[in-house]
Structure 1
Amino acid sequence: MFNKKTLISFLLITLLTTSVKAISETDSLLHITKTSQADTIKIKAFNELVKKVFHYDPQQAFVFSDSALALSKRINNTYWEGITRINKSSLLYHTERYKEGIEQASICLRIFSSLRSELNMAKSYNNLCLLYQAVGDYPTALDFAYQALRIAEKINELSQLANIHNNIGMIYYLLGMQNKSTEYFLKSLDDNIKSGNKQGMAIGYLNMSSIFVEKNELKKAQEFLQKALQINKEFNLNTAIAQCYTQLSNIQYLKKNTDSALIYINWAKDIYLQIKDSLGLATVHYNKSKYLKSSNIHAALEELIIAERYIAPNIDLQQKINIYSALSELYAIKKDYKNAYQSFHFANLLKDSLNDFEQKKKVQEMQIRFETKRMENEISRLQQITETKEKENTQQQNELKRSKTQQALLLFIVSALAIMSILLIAILLNRTEQN
């Protein structure tokens, strides 16, 4: 059915081509930082370098970010300092330094509030949303998201609206509020379709696929996923491609097509190995173990042992519990009771932490339900005020038009009467002269 070697070779060539292109672009930007006479151009180049390299060399990305920040401070350019800090807060988010990221994003917000740069204020609020979401403070994250949303709606910035709607959807998704998450994921997808943002559309399709997997509507899930995969391949987005393959493997497994599931999960693994994504690799090996469990216990156990090696702080608690619980079960089957008990113990410790987290999450969910209603009412109120003002403006304009029309008509009548009077006088004078 599949020529695996050919496909893997193709993937490796694609990855290599993408890497060469990225290196070429990086060299060009580095050249600008060394040769440009304009400091703002250098700052912009440093910021672009941050975006280019942070996926594979975050430490170097921080060096570029610090260079941009130092230069913007040296020339006392507050705007570029703010832009640099926005990018740095994103970098800190991706490297899981959330507290520092919150500090940077807060400074950004102060800078752009003073500059009255609404777009960048929205970006700052959005970054704060992501950072607070990452530390599990969903109410604060949602509050920042809605503040970003108000600004983005005001300035009608579709790309920001798409990001914000997606982030709100993700918060609701994490809280298990499926209807609300679907609502906002669809809004985000619609924003990206309107703006023609294909990469954003791919994220939306992947999110919707996850929703339909949870609903066990696998056909719809796969349809959305294929759309996401097509776009991600078009733009050579390797992490996203691997995520799609992982999701495809899961769908195939749920359809009881284990062979296809293993093919897709191996494709995902090859990409994650190339980009050194520990979170992706942990997920891949856990899933692979699940697929192999019914046919090859020994191979399934080996996959779980590998998955355990990749366990890192950025893997969510439930995933860790799944790995240790599965390890305990397979060790017990192999009659390795010492490791079975140890894994069982780790799983229980994590479950206690998860229970505490779940309790906190329930409280947050209730708070968010209340806050969401309040925020939506506030947005509705502001929209009504805007609509009322627009109606008043329309009425005023209509009244002004009517007034101008009446004035014009009156002027016409007066002019006509004046002309008639002049003609009448002329006729009378003419008759008088004749007499």
Structure 2
Amino acid sequence: MRISCFIFLLLPFLLLGQTKQQAKIDSLLVELPRKQDDTLKVKFLHEISFAYSNLNPDEGVKYSNVALALSEKLDYPKGIAASIAMLAVNYNVKTEYGKAIALNQKALAQYQKLKDKRSVASIYANVSEIYLGLSKYPEALRNSFEALKIYEEFKKDPNTAQVLENIGHVYYEQKKYNKTKKYYSQALDIYNESGSQRDIARCMGNMARVFQSGKEYQKALDYLFSALKTNQDLGMPNSVQGNMANIGIVYIKLKEYEKAVHYHSEALRISEELGFKNNIAINNGNLGNTYLRMEMDPKNVTIGKNSNNIRSAIHHLENAVAICKDIGFSAPQIEFSENLTEAYTLAENYKMAYSTLKSSILLRDSIFSKQSQIELSKLETKRDLSLKNKDIIIKNKELEINQLEDENDRMLYISGILILFIVIFTIVRYLIKQMRSHDNAMAKLIRIQSHEIRGPIASILGLSQLFNFNKPDDPANKELIEGINILANNLDEVVIQVINDTKEKKI
């Protein structure tokens, strides 16, 4: 009941926020006919285009093109470059990344010709953000460092914070949370000094992800609800849905699934209204993952391959994976494909589970390859050359690069996986036998076995049936083994948790 009431109370805030943003646009449009065809009108058109970028990027493109045509008529080179850059901003929001990159490169050439260093830096920052969305992390970091190098030539340039935040994003995707927190903290300090509420809210939302990764869930929620309130007041629907999505993720971690479903559903509704494919994909994936976790929770009593939770999970996760493929959203596609593999396994659809797992393994290998890690480390080294303690930093980075380059690909053997499975299964049986004297503890373990162990075991059995024993060197066998290894690791984590619980309760 409390959740339903909250939905009712939240909706007016969202509508009010969008109304404020539209009111700003309306006031700009009323003023537009009074403007003469001069350079000031070009800048005014850019303001309208940017205001539309967070609400209706198609209209943003329209006004950017009007600004471009007027700039060319006036022979206004800086206006031409800025109009092209503003087009890139709107195409980026529309998830037409190829166009956005091409337009940014065109604007970059214009600004370099004009020797406008600050604008050159801003284009590098924009391109970095696009590459980040495409999971091309070395390119994202390279462009961010180029931007940062220029901004650092100017004292307290406010755009420095945005670049620091983008660098934090790259390290977050690489799960290097200490570095992520370092760059987010530097950015937040600058935003607090400038007093920009929009930027503070966005950075607080990003910082919350770091706290969530460190299992500081209440701190993450405090940051997210603060950011959500600010974005509602500012009328930023796209930022609102992002905050809601992150709040939903925290509630999944807290196993408060009804609240998670609520926030992810609201985030999906807003993103569908805005028509932003990347956010539609993410919110579908988050919602599907929520239903999957609900099904696997030991407290769930409506289990079964045809349960509503499983059907909902598969529906939303399939939508998410399809959209990610369509727009080249690789990193989320990996995560949602792995979740979809779990859902197919619980639905006893082993053929689809194997096919999805195979695709996600290939994609993960291409994105998180050793070569990518080497490139990132090399870029960090180049950046650190301009900082203090050069000799120590260079040695540390060179060692990191050498370690990455010297690593050899490890072959996985079916016999080792089977032995691991037998050992794990034996441990589980032993634990069950030991816990029979304690009814409550036994009930909990049975729930764990039926939900969290059942899935991986069923998957391993299903995938092992596909192993080609007649031709051990079949390339498909390696992929099968990798899939079994992933599932065995998941099972191992569950067993470790059971062992820890057993020690804590002295069963």
Amino acid at match of 1:306: H
127-136 or 208-217, which moves further after superposition?
127-136
Determine the structure 2 residue equivalent to 1:151.
Answer: 150
Query: CA separation in 2, counterparts of 1:132 and 1:270?
Result: 26
Determine the structure 1 residue equivalent to 2:84.
Answer: 85
Task: Indicate yes or no: 2:268 matched with 1:252.
Answer: no
Task: Indicate yes or no: 2:356 matched with 1:352.
Answer: no
1:279 maps to which of 274, 278, 281: 281
Determine the structure 1 residue equivalent to 2:4.
Answer: 4
Determine the structure 1 residue equivalent to 2:432.
Answer: none
Q: CA RMSD in A?
A: 2.7
Query: CA separation in 1, counterparts of 2:389 and 2:212?
Result: 36
Per-residue CA deviations over 1:362-393 (Å, capped at 9, x if unaligned) read 322222223212212224499xxxxxxxxxxx
Query: CA separation in 2, counterparts of 1:89 and 1:189?
Result: 26
Amino acid at match of 1:189: L
How far does residue 270 in structure 1 lie from its aligned partner after superposition? 4.5
Task: Indicate yes or no: 2:336 matched with 1:328.
Answer: no
Task: Indicate yes or no: 2:368 matched with 1:364.
Answer: no
Question: Per the alignment, in what secondary structure is the counterpart of residue 95 of structure 2?
Answer: coil
Determine the structure 2 residue equivalent to 1:341.
Answer: 351
Contact 2:13 2:232 in 1 (8 A): no
Q: How does 1:302-321 map to 2 (within 5 A)?
A: 302-307=311-316, 308-310=318-320, 311-313=322-324, 314=327, 315=329, 316-321=332-337
Which protein shows a greater Rg? 1
Query: CA separation in 2, counterparts of 1:107 and 1:67?
Result: 18
Determine the structure 2 residue equivalent to 1:95.
Answer: 94
State the structure with bigger RCO (CA 8 A, min sep 6), 1 or 2. 2
Question: Per the alignment, in what secondary structure is the counterpart of residue 359 of structure 2?
Answer: helix
Determine the structure 2 residue equivalent to 1:190.
Answer: 189
Query: CA separation in 1, counterparts of 2:261 and 2:135?
Result: 33
Contact 1:268 1:284 in 2 (8 A): no
209-218 or 245-254, which moves further after superposition?
245-254
How far does residue 21 in structure 1 lie from its aligned partner after superposition? 3.5
Amino acid at match of 2:22: I
Contact 1:162 1:200 in 2 (8 A): no
Amino acid at match of 1:134: G
- In 2 relative to 1, CA 128–254 (structure 1 residues): closer, same or farther, beyond 3 Å? closer
Contact 1:68 1:84 in 2 (8 A): yes
161-170 or 80-89, which moves further after superposition?
80-89
Contact 1:129 1:145 in 2 (8 A): yes
Question: Per the alignment, in what secondary structure is the counterpart of residue 385 of structure 2?
Answer: helix
Determine the structure 2 residue equivalent to 1:376.
Answer: 384
Query: CA separation in 2, counterparts of 1:343 and 1:282?
Result: 19
Contact 2:265 2:283 in 1 (8 A): no
User: For structure 2, which runs of at least 5 residues remain unmatched after alignment?
Assistant: 391-507
Query: CA separation in 1, counterparts of 2:232 and 2:24?
Result: 20
Query: CA separation in 2, counterparts of 1:131 and 1:299?
Result: 37
Amino acid at match of 2:211: F
Query: CA separation in 2, counterparts of 1:234 and 1:17?
Result: 8
Q: How does 1:190-269 map to 2 (within 5 A)?
A: 190-269=189-268
Query: CA separation in 2, counterparts of 1:211 and 1:23?
Result: 33
Deviating beyond 4 angstroms after TM superposition, the runs of 4 or more aligned structure 1 residues are: 379-382
Determine the structure 1 residue equivalent to 2:309.
Answer: 300
- In 2 relative to 1, CA 11–156 (structure 1 residues): closer, same or farther, beyond 3 Å? same
Question: Per the alignment, in what secondary structure is the counterpart of residue 2 of structure 2?
Answer: coil
Determine the structure 1 residue equivalent to 2:170.
Answer: 171
Question: Per the alignment, in what secondary structure is the counterpart of residue 169 of structure 1?
Answer: helix
User: For structure 1, which runs of at least 5 residues remain unmatched after alignment?
Assistant: 383-435
How far does residue 168 in structure 1 lie from its aligned partner after superposition? 0.9
TM-score (norm 1): 0.77
Per-residue CA deviations over 1:55-110 (Å, capped at 9, x if unaligned) read 44333322222111111111110111121122122222222333332222223223
How far does residue 343 in structure 1 lie from its aligned partner after superposition? 4.5
Per-residue CA deviations over 1:100-157 (Å, capped at 9, x if unaligned) read 3222222322322333323212211211222333344322332221121122122124
Q: How does 1:6-155 map to 2 (within 5 A)?
A: 7-155=6-154
Query: CA separation in 1, counterparts of 2:21 and 2:55?
Result: 11
Query: CA separation in 2, counterparts of 1:65 and 1:368?
Result: 35
Query: CA separation in 1, counterparts of 2:224 and 2:4?
Result: 21
- In 2 relative to 1, CA 214–132 (structure 1 residues): closer, same or farther, beyond 3 Å? same
Question: Per the alignment, in what secondary structure is the counterpart of residue 155 of structure 1?
Answer: coil
- In 2 relative to 1, CA 97–60 (structure 1 residues): closer, same or farther, beyond 3 Å? same
- In 2 relative to 1, CA 15–115 (structure 1 residues): closer, same or farther, beyond 3 Å? same
- In 2 relative to 1, CA 135–23 (structure 1 residues): closer, same or farther, beyond 3 Å? closer
Query: CA separation in 1, counterparts of 2:93 and 2:201?
Result: 20
Per-residue CA deviations over 1:314-348 (Å, capped at 9, x if unaligned) read 4422233134213312321xxxx4xx523541332
